[in-house]
Structures are given as structure tokens and as C-alpha cells.
Amino acid sequence: MEPSIDKVAWLFPGQGSQQVGMGQDLSEKSAAARELFEKADAILQRPLSEICFRGPEELLRQTINTQPAILTVSLACLTAARERGDLADMPSFVAGHSLGEYTAAVASGALSFEDGLLLVQERGRLMQAAGEENPGTMIAVLGLDEAAARELCSASGAQVCNVNAPGQVVVGGDLDAVARATEMARSYGARRVVPLSVSGAFHTNLMHPAVTGMTTALAGTAFRDPQVPIVANGTGMPVADAATLRKELSYQLTHAVLWQQSVEHMLTSGVTSFVEFGPGQVLSGLVKRMAPAAVIRNVGEDELLQDGS
């Protein structure tokens, strides 16, 4: 019998993992990371690195800044890990949560860093504008499975935004619909409802004003077939060609992030190790809930700055 091969997946976080100061220490220690931040500033023609390193927080939290900032910091962690020589060449799969899907596309070779950065800046601009045009919000509903959450949404007028893990679903919509969902959640079996600090109802039809602009931006960007499959937010299934990836990145604006299904697909495909790159450990925590035996590694600044590791 041939020995089993350990399959690895790389994960990239989405909006919500940002914090002022992220990337600063890493850029001082890693020449590769510093070069990436300098390149990001030159591409965007503005000091994105200063917003990451020194804020202020209100500026970093603006969607147009948050999205390119998280993409850059996540890829800086990947670049620094490669510089250190402790990563395999490529994983079996890559996946990212919402914005992180663009980071995954860059990591897979489907997008250049420049194109990925410009796309997420435009995505952030369009989503921020859509949130202003169609005010909405989001809540995390804990203790409900996806079916019960969809029943809650049907009754309240809200929509499922993220299926993150068993018992953790995010719903969103206009302010009245989310207020109704909040009031009704316990009657559908929810254990707890947590309001989220967001500037809009992402991954719902309230983001529809962003679709045309984003579709145009994606159509004008050079894509290549990814070197490894990208497990798509919109379907929880792998994407292996440029044309499908373009459609997915447009589709996910107004449809739920099926993170639970994405992780389940990777697990059933033989993935036993997950590596999360970037700020925070949200995705690692979600994977741990679904696969307690999985090997999980966080490649963020804390790990990368440890001497001799």
C-alpha cells in the first residue's frame, strides 16, 4: 500500500480581521514583506501601508481601505513564509472568505498582485457605495443550522449572508428585516444573536448596485487558470479555470459565502492540514469546529516574528 499523502489547503481571511498596526513589525523584519507593502503603495498611488501601520482606525475600517489592506497583509505573510523557506511550493486547494477569495486567486496564480489589489480596491469602493445607497446590516445567528436560518430569513425578510460552520450563520438585509430577524431568532432555536459592525448587508441583494461595476472591472482584468483549485464561496466547489473564476467573483457579491460547504469539500477531498495566512484566526477556528483532528497552522505576524521558528 502506498503511503497517504498529506493534503494541505491555504486559507485567506476576509473583512473584519483588520486592526491598526497589522503588518508593521513584519515589514520591518522581512525584506519580502516590506517590498510587497511598497509595491502596494505604488500600485494604488496612496499610502496604504501607513493606513495599515498607523491608522487611524476610522480610516482603516472604510471598506475601500480595509479590503486592499487585508489582501496585502495576508499576502505579505505568505511572502514572508516563503522567504523563510518553510512552506511547500503549492497546496492542494486554496480558499478565502469573501474578500479572501481574491487573495486566494492571487496566491493560486490566477491574478497578479497588482490586478488583485486594484480589483479589491474597486470592490471596496462599490460595496461602500452600495451600502450607502441601500442601508443594511448583518447579524451572526448562533445555534441555528442553515435550514433553520433560511426559514428565519423567509419569515423576516432577511437573507443568509454566510454559512460559516454548523450552528454559525450570518444573516443580513435592510434595517427593518434584520430587526425582525433579531426578534424572531430565538423562536427558531437560536441560542444567541450578535450584531456585526459593518457598513452594509454584504452578500445580499442590497449589494446589487455594485454588480455592474464589478463585472466590468473583472472583464477588463487578465485572469489565468489557477495553478491549484480555488474552492468557491458561491458553491463550495472547486474552480479550476479563469472564466468560471470571473463569474464567481461577481456572483459572490450578492450571494451567501458557503464557507461550511467549502471546508467540507476540502475535507472529503482528503485535506488534513489547513494553513491560514494573515491577520486573525477566524477561519482556523471555524475549521477546528468542523474538523477537530485537522492540523491547523496560523501564519500571521506572531508566528513569523518568532526567532528561530
Stated pTM of the model: 0.95
Rounded distance between C-alpha atoms, residue 164 and residue 278, angstroms: 18
Q: How far apart are CA 101 and CA 128, in angstroms?
A: 18
End-to-end CA distance of the chain: 34
148 alpha-carbon distance from chain centroid = 24
Domain map (residue ranges) of the chain: 7-132+204-304, 136-195
Section 93-121 average pLDDT: 98
Question: Mean pLDDT across the chain, nearest whole number?
Answer: 94
Please state which CATH number belongs to domain 136-195. 3.30.70.250
Contacts of 44 (CB under 8 A, 6+ apart): 68, 117, 118, 121
CA 216 to each of CA 117, 122, 146, 246: distance values in angstroms, whole numbers, following the listed order: 16, 11, 32, 10
For residue 5, what pLDDT is reported? 65
Q: What percentage of the chain reaches a pLDDT higher than 90?
A: 89
Write down the pLDDT at residue 76: 97
Condensed to tens digits (0 to 9), the pLDDT of residues 274-284 reads 999 999 899 99
Catalytic residues: 98, 203
Q: Do the domains at 7-132+204-304 and 136-195 have one common CATH topology?
A: no
In this predicted model, what pLDDT tens digit does every residue of 229-273 receive, in sequence order? Answer: 999 999 999 999 999 999 999 999 999 999 999 999 999 999 999
Contact of 140 with 127, CB cutoff 8 Å: no
**DSSP-based three-state secondary structure for 141:** strand
Q: Would the pLDDT of 139 be above 70?
A: yes
The CA-based angle 145-147-151, given to 5 degrees, is: 115
Q: Which pLDDT belongs to residue 308?
A: 43
- Which of these CATH numbers, 3.40.366.10, 3.40.50.150, 2.40.50.100, 3.40.718.10, describes 7-132+204-304? 3.40.366.10
Give the mean pLDDT of 31-44.
Answer: 97
The string of pLDDT tens digits covering residues 16-35 is: 888 999 999 999 999 999 99
Q: Given phi > 0 = left and psi -120 to 50 = alpha, else beta, which region is 212?
A: alpha
Provide the 3-class DSSP secondary structure of residue 252.
Answer: coil
Residue given cell 454588480 in the structure block:
211
